[in-house]
Structures are given as structure tokens and as C-alpha cells.
Amino acid sequence: MNAVAESRPIATGSRVEVARALRKIGYVALNTYRETVRDKVLYNLVLFALLMIGSSYVLGAISVYQEIKVIKDLGLAAISAFGIVIAIFIGIGLVSKEMEKRTLYSVLPKPISRSQFLLGKYLGLCLTLLVNVAVMTVGLYALLFLMRHPFDPALLKAIFLIYLELALLVAVAILFSTFTSSILAALFAGFVYVTGYFSSDLKNLEGVVDSAFLPQLTRVLYYVLPNFKNFDVKAAVVAGDPVPLSQLSWATAYAAIYVALLLVASCWIFRQRNLK
Amino acid sequence: MLTFLPSEHKHNRPAASAVEANRNDVRAVETRGLAKDYLAGSFLQRKKRALDALDLEVDEGEIFGLIGPNGAGKTTTLKLLMGLVFPSGGEARILGRPLGDPEMKQQIGYLPEQPYFYEYLTGRELMNYFGQLFGLSREERDARSRELLEKVGMTEAADVPLRKYSKGMTQRLGIAQALVNRPRLVFLDEPMSGLDPLGRREISLLIRELRESGVTVFFCSHILSDVEQLCDRVAILNRGKLVQAGRLSEIIDVSLRAVEVVVEGLSPDLESRIAGSFRELRRQGPRSHLSFPDMPSFEKALPLLIGGGGARLVSVNPVKETLEDHFFREVKAGARE
Amino acid sequence: MNPGFLIGALFLAVYAVQSHIDETFGEYRSTEEILYIDNPRVLKKAMLGYENLAADLYWLRAVQYFGGKRRDVTNKNFDLLEPLLRITVTLDPHFKIAYTYGATFLSEPFPQGAGMPAKGVALIDDGIRQHPEHWRFYLDKGFLYYWYLRDYKKAAEIFLEGSELEGAPFWMRTTAGRALAQGGDRQTARGLWQMLHDTAETPQQRDNAAIHMMQLDALDQLDALRRVAARFEERTGRYPQSWAELVSAGLLTMTPVDPTGAPYVLDPASRDVGPSPESKLGRLPGH
């Protein structure tokens, strides 16, 4: 009777039960946020990001007539790069670390399903990410303000897409952490980011390479791997080129669907896992 | 002293009659052929049976002890019951419901072995979090947290981050969090570990209190004296198999095994007069330690010992078999098979 | 619901959304990538020792964006070809193929290429500066002058210069001679394209040469067809109205098709024959 893994649905349909289930996911999320946001390493990372943003001031002063551009370029790059490190770093704090440190042991026997737990974790981490990105954004705008540069809302578009990118990356990290150790999950997530970023360069190999099989393979990989280039509008925003809202919406749609995919897969694996 | 009245079940009967009254109720815990295999070995993955066809029954309102040497399968059993790992065979029910049932989970509490909690939360925040997971209202959570933290002596440390807790403090918090929801049934894995003698005494008292309020307590321990003191029923595991299970009084031979007597000033003359009745004699300075095989033999020698022959009776100690004796015997027998 | 099924459905959704994004915003994305770091020397410094890898990446982009199946002829943005190739060779000056590829496709007239032979020459000159001993560059440069810039004298000079380098094939000398002597001769041109076809280093260069040879064949065929039409006019006193007339007159065996299989067009109004506008031959060269 109990030889199979937990196979109960998350909510059995009644509205009250759904509300209750959602509330529990919310509690897990808030608690995850509280736990991760106090991590000292996180503080240091954000601090470094702010330092890097601040240092762009120096670089800006060197390049004649290009100070603002350099500050914006470097600022966005810092938010993105540190965001990636933070996303992966807190991503591994998910299932892997919980399993390794056994904090899960006291939570799962409580009346909460494994799926609710995982979803709550994900949302909590997204919240942490949001706060970190917001802090870095404020830092960047503060610097620009000090440089007497008028408020440029276009930067927010780039930062919004960076945030989506990070939310997607965290979901990738979650998936890996359901079945590998912390360190491997971090490495795999980083690897997926790099290949996902460059996959678009490989999608049109027909006519370029003599083999018939290789272009098909890279084409499939291009669609299967998460395409992080969809979220990169830094250059356009800094150059002042228009970024249409439709582009933002489609990128959001892509992120939402892919994240859903990753979370479904993660829950599926997690529900069957025997904990050490 | 605070009593722990479970919200749904009010047991006000004295503990002694709990067993008889329960026979028609649903059992607290029931397993049939519960088994767990692991893949062991780094290269050639071989199947290792951590738990082999366990049949267990625990009634409501009793204190049940699961004992065995390290690696016997005690923690595995608890992990299976808690849904942390999934059985390779057999089945189990808690409070009449299948494993993983959310309504059942609402009514139980669990303390894991060597508990580890979120480092950056404080004790109070953790209690609050778990209260949230049980669906308690804010007032209930606050009240319960305060009550339980005080009960386990953690009120001062309540706002200190958990990473600063000592092992004993973590253990106490662990017990507190197991009781947040006024459970009907509590599972404790090595509840005394990490506690100093004072702490162990407190927890023993707490476990007894729980039973007074009708809560069923299921705990694993390798400290047999604790188990002997507290448990109504016991199950002995060894190498994944159930060796023996039943009421403590049934398992241990309650009859006397010996009567140990200490006498001062036993003259050789007196010694020869009681020679037939005792089994052993050991001299230690002015005192003699005598061991009589049973009460009648002692009673025969008694008048001579106090009859003014110069001897003085220091102490009389009836000796029963302890759980430890029994346990070693059973386990050693098992090892020889 | 079966999670596997749900995951499959979501992957399909991902594919759909990604395709839409590529279609609507694809062009835009590639442009901004290149312009992000416009100075190749800065890029080189930023690469921190991975320049060769980065060069490969830019080469891949160059070849992909402009070399793929030529279905989006209208979408080709050749503005980025030169910067991409420049970045590639700056990052890795040993990337010889980038120079020769650039020579070909920068010089090819639109829509096959960028139509900027001067830029092609500039790129090849860079190559020669970096690798003065590499005979291939002289072949490419000479050909640029021969075919695209129509400077036969200069072409011959360059072929000659290149033929003296170690490893240069023997026919470079004779090519020089022929270029000088026969200038715009179709036969010579065909020979040169054949040579480029045989020594091509990428499938695109090979296909490009093949198309040019077919174009020359087409020109020959058109000349033959004009003679046929003229003979018909001599016989009947008027210009033929259709190929069918010529076939029934016994002057043709069937409707003539060009080397790509597209039928030729006979236009009685202008009294001329020509390739079909849908033919993959593209615009035929002037002579």
C-alpha cells in the first residue's frame, strides 16, 4: 500500500483547502527568505556588487565623454554577474543543503506536502533575489544621481529582465539540487547558464557545417536549453535604443513557462526521493 | 505543572487501565511486514536490508520504547513512519491512517535524532514557523511558543539565533517543536541525547506528564535504563529484525534472581551456620557481601543474622533482571545465530 | 496529471514562445550584440587569454548569420559582416579563413554579399600584412581585382607576386598570364571560378563559386538561344512569340532551362531572352 512515493495531490479542490495550501507555501517562502537573507556571505556579495558599481565611477572618470555610459555598462554588468553568483549560491541552499544538513527532517513530517515545500522554497528565494537586486539597483541609481545624471527609467527594463534571468537560473539550481549534492548542483547550474547563453550561436549551423546530424542536434539543444540571451538588453538600454514592452512581455512569458517546467520536474523528483 | 491536553482527545483515565480500554479503539501505530532496502557498497551496489518485515503494534495512551544496538533499524523505522523514506515492502498506519496522510500529520509530533534547525532563525521564530505549518492562529502560536519554551527551559535563549545553540539547547528546542500542535502521538528519536543528567530527568518527567494527559509516546533509545523506567511496552530490534516485543513486565523475568545482603562483623562461626542458604560470599574489609538465590533462603538465614551473633545487617537488596541484562542476552543470542 | 505529460506540453510551449521571440526580435538582438563592444582591441583585452575562443565564437556568428540557408535573402544585414570579421581577425590574427571568407562575401554584390569590394580588399590586405608568406591571400586578392573591380592588369600583378611564394600552386603563374591577356574572357573567368571552387575552404565559398560558374554557363546558353531566335526571325520574318513556336519549328527540342532548372523567359516585346526572375541564379554578370 505504501510502497510507492507520496502521491497525494497538492490540494483536493475545495477552495478553503486551496487557500490553506497556498498559505502554507507562503509561510515556507517567508521563512526561506528570512533564513537566506541573513546569511553573512550574501551580505558580502551584495557589498562587493555595490563596491563594483562604485568603482565604475573611477573608470568613468578616465573615459572622456563616456563616463555615464561606462557607469551604466559596468553597473548593469555587476548586477547581472553578482546576481548570477547569488542566484546559484542561494540556489544550492535549497534542497541539497537542506538534505545535507537535515533541516528537512523536522519540516516534512509536519502537515505540508513535499511539493508545497519546494514551491515555498522557490518563492522565498525569488524574494531574496528581489531584495538583493533592488539594493544593487538603488546603488546604481544613487551613483548616477551623484553624477547629476537624470533618472533613466530604461535601465529598469534591463534590470527587470536580469531579474527574470536570475529567477530562471534559481529554478535550474533547484532542479539539480533535487538529485545531486550542493556543489554539483551549483556547477551544473553554472554550466547550464553558460551553454544556455551561447546556444543561440549554434542554432543555424545548416549550410555552415557539412554534417547533416550536427545542425539538427544543436538546433534541438537550442530549444531545450534555457536561452538566457532572451533577457539581455543591456546594450540597447545603455545606447538609448528603444526596447518595446512586447519584448519584455514575451521574455516574461518565456521565463514563466520555463520556470513552471523546471518546478514541475523538481517536484516530481523530490516527491520520490528517499532522504539520507 | 502544565498538563498537555490534546485538543481532540481527552484522556482522563489513569494510565493503568488505558490498555484495556483501548483494545477496541484504533491503534496508535501499526506496521505489517514493514521493510526497507538500501543499496550499499560504493562500486557494486548490493541490496542491504535495513529493516526486515517489521510487525509492530502500539496502543494509544502508552509509552512505547523501540530499542536496539546502533544500526538495528530504529531510526530507519521512524524515518519510514515519518515519510522521510519510502518502504521497500509492507505497510504501516498511524492513528488508523496511511503514512503521509495530512490529517494524521496534524496530530503527531516528531523529534529527529540529532536535530538540526535553520541556523539563522531564533528559537522563537522556529516555533512560530512550525506553528504556521500546523495552521495555528497567531495567538495560538504565540501562546504555545511561550508555554513550550518555558517548559523546556529555553525562555532566555528564545531570541538567540539557532546556530549559537549548544547541543543540549537544540535538543530541548527539538522537544518543544514536537509538541507545538498538542499532538495525540509523539515520536521521539533519542530524546535524551545531548542532555546532562538534570536535563534527562526533566525530559523523563515530561514524558510521564504526556502520558498522564493521554498522549501516546513512541521513542527510540539506546539508554536502556531510561526505557526501563518509562516504557509500558518495548520492542527490541537487532540487525533490522524484530527480536522481541511486548509489555515490559512480560519481557523481563520479574521474579527475583537473587537477594544481595551486606553484613558487618560476620564471624566464621556464623558463616558456617548459614552456609547452606547463600550462594556466594565476598569479604570486603569488615563487611561481607552475601548473595542468596531467593527470598526463602534469605529468610532462613535472617534470624541468625540479626539474632545478636555479633553481626549487623547493613543492607538487603532484592535483584531482578534488568532490561539491560535481558537485552544483552537476547542480542548475544541473536549474534550467535 | 502525469508530470511527464505536463513537462512535455511545457516544452512545446517553450519552443513556441522562443520561435516567436526569434522571429520578432531576432534581428534586433544580433545587431546590438556586436555593437555592445565596438572596439575590437578593447574586446581583445577584455578576453583575458581566451581570445582564440572568442574569435571562434565571432567566426561562428559571422558564418551563421550570413551563411545559413539563403532563405531570408531580404533579411540579410551585411552591415555586421565586416565588424564581425574584423573582430574575429583582431582576436585571432591567425584565423586565416576569416580573411578569405571576408574577401569573398564582402565583395559579392548584394544580395549574395555586402557589395563592398573595397572593404574586401582592405581585409585581405590586413591578412597579407599579418601573413606575408601565405599565397592563398594573393589568390583571393587577385581575384577580387579581376572579377569585382575589373582591374585585369592589377589582378595579373598580384597573381604573379603570389606565384613566387613558397607553396604556391603552379597554375598561379599561368593564371596571371591569362588574366592579363584575355581580360574579360568568359572562359578565363570560368577557369578562375573553377579554381576557387576546388580550393574553397567553406561550403558557402564552394557554393558561391558553383553559382558563378552556372551563371557563366547560363550566359553561354542565352547567347545560343539568341542565335536560335535570330534564325527563326530570318525564316519567318518576325520574332518568335514563345518557346513552343521554336520547338514546333524544329529549332529547339524542348523548353530551355537554365543550369538551376528554371526555364528561360522569352520576351517578344523587348525582343530578347533572359533568365526567369525566380531563378536561383540571381543577377547575371554584365559580360
Spell out, as residue ranges, where chain B has pLDDT lower than 50.
1-24
Across A146-160, A199-213, C156-170, least confident range: A199-213
* Stretch (H or E) spanning B292: strand B287-292
Cβ contacts (< 8 Å) between A241 and chain C: which residues? 32
List C-alpha distances in Å: B322 to B237, B249, B253, C184. 17, 11, 9, 115
Report yes or no: A94 at the B interface, CB cutoff 8 Å: no
Longest alpha-carbon distance in chain A: 74
Neighbours of C34 (CB within 10 A): 18
Query: Beta strand pairing status for B241-247 and B216-221?
Result: unpaired
Cβ contacts (< 8 Å) between A267 and chain C: which residues? 3
Taking residues A132-144, report their average pLDDT. 88
C94: closest CA of chain A, how far (Å): 20
| Number of Cβ pairs < 8 A linking chain A and chain B | 98
DSSP reduced 3-state for A206: strand
**Rounded Cα gap, residues C168 and B171, in angstroms:** 84
DSSP reduced 3-state for B283: strand
Helix, strand, coil content of chain C in percent (nearest 5) = 65, 5, 30
pLDDT of residue B42: 64
Write the residue in C17, C25, C64 that is nearest to A205 by C-beta.
C64
Q: Is A4 a residue whose pLDDT tops 50? A: no
* Stretch (H or E) spanning B57: strand B46-58
Task: Write out the E strands in C58-150.
Answer: none
**Rounded Cα gap, residues C177 and C173, in angstroms:** 7
Q: Mind listing the domains of chain B with CATH numbers?
A: 15-251 (3.40.50.300), 256-320 (3.30.70.330)
**C-beta separation of A43 from A57 below 8 A:** no
Q: Which residues of B100-133 are buried (b: 16+ CB within 10 A; e: fewer)?
A: bbbebbbbbbbbbbebbbbebbbbbbbbbbbbbb
Residues 6+ apart with CB under 8 A from C246: C228, C229, C232, C240, C252
**Rounded Cα gap, residues C265 and A53, in angstroms:** 66
List C-alpha distances in Å: A273 to A82, A188, A266, B46. 32, 19, 11, 19
A22: closest CA of chain C, how far (Å): 19
**Rounded Cα gap, residues A201 and C53, in angstroms:** 13
Taking residues A77-92, report their average pLDDT. 85
Residue closest to A40 by CA, chosen among A80, A93, A76:
A93
**C-beta separation of B227 from B63 below 8 A:** no
Q: Do chains C and A touch (3 or more CB pairs under 8 A)?
A: yes
C-alpha cell at B275: 552456609
Top-confidence residue, C20 or A205: C20
Residues in chain A: 276
Task: Write out the E strands in C113-267.
Answer: 265-267
On the CB side of C30, how many CA atoms lie within 13 Å of its CA?
23
List C-alpha distances in Å: C265 to A26, A124, A230, B16. 73, 70, 46, 110
Cβ contacts (< 8 Å) between B133 and chain A: which residues? 24, 27-28, 107, 110-112
Domain boundaries, chain A: 15-270
Cross-chain Cβ contact A274/B85 below 8 Å: yes
List C-alpha distances in Å: A78 to A49, A55, A162, A249. 6, 11, 11, 24
Q: Do chains B and A touch (3 or more CB pairs under 8 A)?
A: yes
pLDDT of residue C42: 67
DSSP reduced 3-state for B52: strand
Locus of grid cell 490529517? B103
pLDDT of residue A12: 54
**C-beta separation of B212 from B43 below 8 A:** no
B112: closest CA of chain A, how far (Å): 7
Burial (0-12, 13-18, 19+ Cβ within 10 Å), C28: middle
Residues of chain B in Cβ contact (below 8 Å) with chain A: 79, 82-92, 98-100, 102-103, 105-106, 108, 110-112, 114-121, 125, 129-130, 132-135, 161, 174, 177
Top-confidence residue, A14 or B316: B316
Residue closest to C60 by CA, chosen among A207, B11, B308:
A207
Q: Which residues pair with B109 in a beta bridge?
A: B186
Taking residues A51-73, report their average pLDDT. 72
A19: closest CA of chain B, how far (Å): 12
Residues in chain B: 337
pLDDT of residue B41: 64
Cross-chain Cβ contact A201/C63 below 8 Å: no
Render each residue's pLDDT in chain C as its tens digit; 287 residues: 788 899 999 999 999 998 888 888 765 455 555 555 556 666 676 666 677 777 887 887 777 766 654 445 455 567 778 888 888 888 888 888 888 888 888 888 876 777 888 888 999 998 898 888 888 899 889 888 888 888 888 888 888 888 888 888 878 877 887 777 766 678 878 888 888 888 887 777 888 888 888 888 888 888 888 888 888 888 888 888 888 888 888 888 888 888 888 888 888 888 888 888 888 777 777 64
DSSP reduced 3-state for B250: helix
Cβ contacts (< 8 Å) between A228 and chain C: which residues? none
Q: Find the closest chain A residue to C36 by CA distance.
A: A235
DSSP reduced 3-state for C238: coil
**Rounded Cα gap, residues C153 and B229, in angstroms:** 112
Cross-chain Cβ contact C17/A250 below 8 Å: yes
Q: Is A2 a residue whose pLDDT tops 60? A: no
Residue closest to A229 by CA, chosen among A197, A251, A253:
A197
C-alpha cell at A233: 538588453
DSSP reduced 3-state for B223: coil
Find how far residue B330's CA is from the centre of its chain. Answer: 18
> Could you give the residue ranges of the DSSP H alpha helices within C112-170?
117-130, 135-143, 152-163
**φ, ψ at B32 (rounded to 5°):** -130, 110
**φ, ψ at B45 (rounded to 5°):** -75, 105
Cβ contacts (< 8 Å) between C67 and chain A: which residues? 207-208
Cβ contacts (< 8 Å) between A8 and chain B: which residues? 100, 102
Q: Is A159 a residue whose pLDDT tops 90? A: yes
Q: Do chains B and C touch (3 or more CB pairs under 8 A)?
A: no
**Rounded Cα gap, residues C245 and A121, in angstroms:** 81
Instruction: Please name the residues between 141 and 200 in chain A that touch chain C, using a CB distance below 8 Å.
Output: 198
Top-confidence residue, A112 or C74: A112
* Stretch (H or E) spanning B89: strand B89-94
Instruction: Give percent of chain A above pLDDT 90.
Output: 29
Return the DSSP state at C264.
P
**Rounded Cα gap, residues C220 and C259, in angstroms:** 11
- pLDDT tens-place string over residues C98-114: 888 888 888 888 767 77
Query: Beta strand pairing status for B216-221 and B46-58?
Result: unpaired
**Rounded Cα gap, residues A170 and A121, in angstroms:** 11
pLDDT of residue C286: 63
Cβ contacts (< 8 Å) between B98 and chain A: which residues? 1-2
